[in-house]
Structure 1
Amino acid sequence: MKSCDVVTFGEAMAMFIADHPGELHQVEHFTRALAGAETNVSIGLARLGYKMRWISKVGNDPFGTFIIESLRKEGVDVDMVLTDDRHPTGFQLKSKAESGDPQVHYFRKGSAASMLSADDVDPASFTSARHLHLTGIPLAVSASMRELAFEALRIMKQAGRTVSFDVNLRPPLWNSQAEMIEVVNSLACQADWVLPGIGEGKLLTGRSEPRDIAGFYLEQGVKLVAVKLGPEGAYYRTPTEEGFVEGFRVRAVDTVGAGDGFAVGLISGLLEGLTVRDAVRRGNAIGALAVTAAGDSEGLPTRPQLEAFISASCIHP
């Protein structure tokens, strides 16, 4: 098994973005793109020069081929992606929002990715990486993906690797809010770096302030909590330090993918040995760039683009 820097897994979908604003049932023309939190992170890290591995299942259909080819073009290792002849690749429709979050409608029930299980994945696919990135989405998609998430975490922690977890709550995919909170927190408390949004943190912990939300996870042994505050920036806390890092001012085109961009910046910064504060600042920068394009990953920068954006900004550490 060839080595890589970061490994992740999850469900990718073909995405059709409305070319014009309006209700989805009224839209006649769409532009195809790629969707998936874990694929966004994979593309973002690959563009920064990291060796990325993405694990999943896709259907034996044009959408599945599109996903594999798109990631391969970005330099992401897709050798561990399986093809399922019986189940289709999921897809989604997304509105063109004039302000706020776009409307998204999913067609993913019974998808090939939802059939992915721990039995499908060689443990070496994980341990040959330096770092594992997880999100809360596979925990909600199916029981088998949930089992794989906990197994991947166990394997990597046992091997002494670091694990990041972006909670990425998807309430409609869960049987109940109580189940969602219990399962997501169970995994979060075993991760090294936890990345909730402020609204997610309030729901998961019952605490309202970023410092207290972070404290909830630090009390369970988490090493770093970064609470995303949207355009305002992010708050971070470790057992020995804490702080707030202001966000970057940009014109938002599509807010989807901002959290994934933040994860790209934080993970890459920490793996490169940046201070926590500087890693969070990079996360804010990439999160800001992510919202400047209509697709979920189209705004994610290359390293020269990132450096130019930060240099041009009037915000200082």
Structure 2
Amino acid sequence: MTAPLIVGLGEAMVLFQPSGGEPLNECRSASVHVAGAELNLLAAARRAGARAAFCSRVGADPFGRRVCAAAAGLGVGTDLVAVDESRPTGVFFKDVRPDGARRVHYYRAGSAASALDAADADRALAAGPALVAVSGLTAALGPGPRRAVARLARGAHARGIAVALDPNLRPGLPPVTDLLAELLPITTYLLLGVDEAVPLLGTDDPAAVFERARAAGAGEVVLKAGADGCWHAGPDGPRRLPSAAVEVVDPVGAGDAFAGAYLAARLAGVAPRGAAWLGTRFAAGVVASPGDTDGLPAPPAAAALLAEAYRTGA
């Protein structure tokens, strides 16, 4: 049986981070990676057994080619990635401070993905996905990306395609909670962080979050709480599931890995508890490794975890 297809809409950029933990203003060399919330999600979903395709725009430049090569290397389809001849691929730089804190510097203004629009959403829908994944981060990139997110979510809902919404709110980007609130009634899976619950729903109390999200029309809700685990849908309300205990090397990408694994498991018929369990295992691997996707389980290990997720959710 063919695995279900998940299509994610968003931006992936090339990341530079100093080698050896030096600050950006002093480093002589840097490692180069590809990162982006939706691509991270899709990589995890693919590793968890779903088919995955990335819908985006990149520049006609070496960085754009690197993004596509990285996505393909993760098993994520790139046929829905358009090449923009007039705009560059976005880049960003991660600075690691002496106290271990991380600061990220983005150079994405005017990027190819900032020109995403309704036509890109139509291209994603034409691929015939079982589920589309959208986020507030993409919607905040500009008027065109906002239209693309809205059209993809609404178009998917009209076609009976599941919609997964991750608010992915970023303080440095324009607010989009008004759009996200409009999309809640057509959201099949709402995956939000505790820090995003207050701006979107006015509370971070798990029981109240679930109640308000369902009252707004959202379907299944997952509340991600980082090191404190997550709350997933149970038969009598939200149930807490602790995170896996690991030494944190880099927390970036954990929420995306959780979401991708959760969604792939749910499409495969795993119950919410089992899907959440799988998400915590994928997230634990990511935070224990540098890079957004380096810690994803290898395919044999991922298959074994998925089998355990079925048993856990039973």
**TM-score, normalised by the number of residues in structure 1:** 0.90
2:34 counterpart of 1:34:
yes
Q: CA deviation at 1:204?
A: 2.0
Please say if residues 80 and 124 of structure 2, whose CA atoms lie closer than 8 Å, have aligned partners that are also in contact. no
2:288 counterpart of 1:254:
no
Which residue identity is paired with 2:32? R
Superposed counterparts of 1:6-155, under 5 Å: 6-96=6-96, 102-123=102-123, 125-126=125-126, 128-155=128-155
Relative to structure 2, which stretch is displaced further, 77-86 or 91-100? 91-100
Which residue identity is paired with 2:162? T
Please say if residues 102 and 254 of structure 1, whose CA atoms lie closer than 8 Å, have aligned partners that are also in contact. no
Relative to structure 2, which stretch is displaced further, 204-213 or 257-266? 204-213
Q: CA deviation at 1:271?
A: 0.7
Relative to structure 2, which stretch is displaced further, 20-29 or 97-106? 97-106
CA 1:267/1:311 → structure 2, altered by over 3 Å: closer, same or farther?
closer
Q: CA deviation at 1:126?
A: 4.8
| Post-superposition CA distance 1:215-265 (Å, at most 9, x none) | 211101211111111112101236854211111001111100000011012
Relative to structure 2, which stretch is displaced further, 163-172 or 24-33? 24-33
Which residue identity is paired with 1:302? A
For 1:99 and 1:23, locate their aligned partners in 2 and report how far apart those are by CA, in whole Å: 11
Relative to structure 2, which stretch is displaced further, 302-311 or 134-143? 302-311
Please say if residues 196 and 228 of structure 1, whose CA atoms lie closer than 8 Å, have aligned partners that are also in contact. yes
Relative to structure 2, which stretch is displaced further, 242-251 or 92-101? 92-101
Relative to structure 2, which stretch is displaced further, 112-121 or 154-163? 112-121
Q: CA deviation at 1:169?
A: 0.6
CA 1:101/1:187 → structure 2, altered by over 3 Å: closer, same or farther?
farther
Relative to structure 2, which stretch is displaced further, 187-196 or 143-152? 187-196
CA 1:53/1:229 → structure 2, altered by over 3 Å: closer, same or farther?
same
2:235 counterpart of 1:244:
no
**Tell me, which stretches of 5 or more residues in structure 2 are unaligned?**
none
Please say if residues 48 and 261 of structure 2, whose CA atoms lie closer than 8 Å, have aligned partners that are also in contact. no
For 2:290 and 2:178, locate their aligned partners in 1 and report how far apart those are by CA, in whole Å: 34
Please say if residues 253 and 291 of structure 1, whose CA atoms lie closer than 8 Å, have aligned partners that are also in contact. yes
SS in 1 for 2:76: coil
CA 1:9/1:35 → structure 2, altered by over 3 Å: closer, same or farther?
same
Structure 2 counterpart of 1:231, from 222, 227, 230? 227
For 1:311 and 1:53, locate their aligned partners in 2 and report how far apart those are by CA, in whole Å: 23
**Tell me, which stretches of 5 or more residues in structure 1 are unaligned?**
none
CA 1:74/1:208 → structure 2, altered by over 3 Å: closer, same or farther?
closer
Q: Give the structure 2 partner of residue 306 of structure 1.
A: 302
Please say if residues 126 and 132 of structure 1, whose CA atoms lie closer than 8 Å, have aligned partners that are also in contact. no
Q: Give the structure 2 partner of residue 269 of structure 1.
A: 265
Q: CA deviation at 1:168?
A: 0.6
Q: CA deviation at 1:288?
A: 1.1
Q: CA deviation at 1:65?
A: 0.6
**TM-score, normalised by the number of residues in structure 2:** 0.90
Please say if residues 134 and 149 of structure 1, whose CA atoms lie closer than 8 Å, have aligned partners that are also in contact. yes
Percentage identity across aligned positions? 30
Which residue identity is paired with 1:90? G
For 1:31 and 1:124, locate their aligned partners in 2 and report how far apart those are by CA, in whole Å: 32
Please say if residues 4 and 129 of structure 1, whose CA atoms lie closer than 8 Å, have aligned partners that are also in contact. yes
Q: Give the structure 2 partner of residue 212 of structure 1.
A: 208
Please say if residues 57 and 82 of structure 2, whose CA atoms lie closer than 8 Å, have aligned partners that are also in contact. yes
For 1:230 and 1:3, locate their aligned partners in 2 and report how far apart those are by CA, in whole Å: 29
CA 1:134/1:121 → structure 2, altered by over 3 Å: closer, same or farther?
closer
Kindly report the root-mean-square deviation, in angstroms, between the aligned alpha carbons of the 2 structures.
2.5
For 1:52 and 1:280, locate their aligned partners in 2 and report how far apart those are by CA, in whole Å: 19
Aligned residues: 309
